[in-house]
Chain A
Amino acid sequence: MNAFPLLSTLIFLPLLGALATVLLSRSPALCRAAALGTALAELLLAACAIPLAADPGTILAENAAWIPSFGIRYALAMDGLSGLLVLMTAFLGVLAVLTSFKEITKRPGAYYAFLLAVETSACGVFLAKDLFLFYLFWEVQLVPMFFLIGVWGHEDRRKAALKFFLFSIAGGMLMLLAVIGAWLAQPEGARTFSLAALMAAPAAPHVQNWLFAAFFLAFAVKMPIVPVHTWLPDAHTQAPTAGSVILAGVLLKTGAYGLIRLAFPLFPDAAALSVPLLFVLGLAGLYHASLCALAQTDAKRLVAYSSVAHMALIVIGVAAWNAVSLSGAMLQMINHALTTGGLFIMIGMLSRRSGSRELASFGGVWKRSPVLGAFFLFFCMASAGLPGLNNFVSELLTLVGTWTGHPGVAAAAFAGAVLTLTYVLKLAQGTLFGTPAATQPEQWPDAEPLELCVLSPLAASILYLGFAPQAVLDMLRGPVSDFLPRIPQLFQ
């Protein structure tokens, strides 16, 4: 454990930044600068943490007693997967702050504070190695998101924010019971919340079933998996652009991360039993969300349903539980964040110009702003899984991996690729081509410099992950080989 508490600073730096923006909220310019400064510092810190997490030599961990009477320790650790997710959170954080410069005028101080607070809680979730600490950050991330949607959202924001909050809290409460259950399931003397200990001695199978069910429900609400997904479209349509980016890019990943890091290894026997259910939910999610996405008229709702479909792929990849599909699922987590984040940022820019999010109000964007149009087509193709861009790599890995164990499921999921293309082309068609809608204002500026410096790093990262994802896949090799043997029934 090196002297400098890198992980704790990674978690609490955004919080400090949040306090700074609140204090500086008098002048918007100052608090914008403070927010951007913190976000960039966080990105820099995450970037230099990556090489440490990548090479197996150094162990990035922190461990301090917190509440000894219950065996709760302030334990953090960063391996390949959590390092990448923290880096992605920081990267999206910078983009979210940049896109909010022009969009947020009402109380920017508090807005940036909440944005950075979400980043703090997300990094906490990714780095926590103690079940109690994990649960703490898991619940904390709801609060800032609730305010981001509830205060700075669009016309129907309160209902959406409340719906989002209630869905997640319902899941969270069950998980709290399960956390306590898992703690109690340990023998009387050695009761601790540390993940390593809990994983080493899993509870009795019949107890595991209940605990896994509660954990899975909480993560299913957050991922979201089909039956409990209806909060996502409302939350996305009403959230401000940066809120949507953070919601899609970071919060959804905490659900997937929880499923891979906690639910499966903590309760191996129950997880092995649940694999058929996961496949059914994954496929149902893929087809249901894709069909619903095709029928949407609101651009943001369409992209929201598309992210439900992409996350369903992750569920299938995790359920297949082998080296290829698991690394594919983990890579998909990162790719989905970038492509969906890009789409949301673009839709934010277009709806700011056209005044509404309806597809009918877009149209002819390529004629009026070719640069924006090119970027939009680029992100649409990335989302459709065009080879050479990032989603293809993760989708191919996930489904080829799933094929080795479960050909039927993989075949059905492959067919889903056609559905994906249908709604992506509907989005591109409605937005880029055809003649500009009558309701569009005359003044329709092409990409401004600020927008360009948001979109180009995103496009560059998508292209990089599309052509050279090997560096990322090498980082994921460690976590994959660490997780697989934990469930002997699934891993031959």
Chain B
Amino acid sequence: MTLYGAIFYLLAAIILAATALALTRRALMHAVVYLVNAFFATAMLFYLLGAPLPAAFEVIIYAGAIMVLFLFIIMLMGVKDGRDMDAKKALAVWLPPVFLGAATLAAGWVLITAPAGAKEALPMARATPAELGRFVFDRYWLGVEAVSFLLFAGLAGALFLGKSGDEAGKTAKDGQGGAA
């Protein structure tokens, strides 16, 4: 049971806890934030498992892009539920995120400041982002092109739905306003 094994199980626990909490929250905002936390832990896990580029992308795409998009949408829609949390439950609301956040930071700190001799524990460190990038564009160029089409389609779809949603906006129930 090496140090990294310990870190792995810690991170696994954090991910499971955070996801469990995220998926059971009544308030959408809390769910999203918990999930962001879970994705951070996952990013560290990727790094631990010798996949630095996916770890970075995990943070950029999942936590950064998708969850932020969720936040925008939730705020855009101004969903009312969960706002009238009274004080006495505040502790129960705040305690888990603080504890999880702290645990994630600790694991991250340990990982980064690992003793010099630990390099060999990460044989996969060779899977540097450059190698992975060259490998992806060498073997899976078709896949990349396909994903680009997919992304473009997603963009077009979102734009179209946004625009047509606009006309329908006039009939929107809560007069949210025509923000795209």
Chain A directly contacts chain B within the complex, with at least one CB pair under 8 Å: no
